[in-house]
């Protein structure tokens, strides 16, 4: 388990310090989400096995499910190997899937930006009405007051 945690930490550090990915925030977020997701799934699986083992030791229930739990509890070395394999397998899959996924995201990105900018401009004009032309939205002239503040004298604050 210590080796797995060290490997996970090394992968995260490599991810954040690699010059190829240093400027690509989407890649950093993508790989961070993948590694964090794998870590969370592993933690949930191990936690569930431990909780069920605790229940088994305290309550001593019987049945085929609890017999299977005894078998799983006897083979933590196989579970650890499966966890390492899952990290390698899912990490490799995430590297292979990243470039097509990124192309798909970038393909839809300029269109989304254009739609957002056009939609924002229309909304601003609707809200302002003719206020940008010297009149408020209700047709009344705008009154603008200018306030001038003189600096305080240092003598005023002395006791």
pLDDT, tens only, 12-55: 777 777 766 667 788 888 888 888 898 899 999 999 999 999 99
The candidate with the shortest Cα–Cα distance to 87, out of 29, 38, 36, 37, is: 38
What's the token pair of residue 65?
């499910």
Which segments within the chain are labelled E, that is strand? Answer: none
Summarised one tens digit per residue, pLDDT across range 51-90 is 999 998 898 889 999 899 888 888 888 988 888 888 889 8
């Amino acid at each position: 388990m210590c080796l797995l945690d060290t490997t996970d930490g090394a992968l995260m550090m490599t991810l954040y310090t690699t010059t190829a990915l240093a400027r690509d925030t989407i890649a950093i977020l993508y790989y961070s989400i993948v590694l964090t997701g794998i870590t969370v799934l592993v933690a949930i699986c191990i936690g569930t096995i431990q909780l069920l083992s605790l229940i088994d030791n305290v309550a001593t229930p019987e049945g085929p499910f609890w017999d299977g739990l005894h078998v799983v509890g006897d083979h933590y070395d196989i579970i650890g190997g499966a966890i390492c394999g899952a990290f390698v397998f899912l990490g490799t899959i995430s590297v292979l899937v990243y470039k097509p996924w990124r192309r798909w995201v970038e393909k839809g990105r300029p269109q989304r930006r254009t739609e957002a900018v056009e939609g924002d401009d229309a909304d601003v004009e609707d809200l302002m009405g003719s206020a940008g032309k010297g009149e408020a939205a209700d047709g009344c002239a705008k009154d603008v007051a200018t306030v001038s503040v003189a600096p305080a004298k240092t003598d005023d604050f002395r006791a």
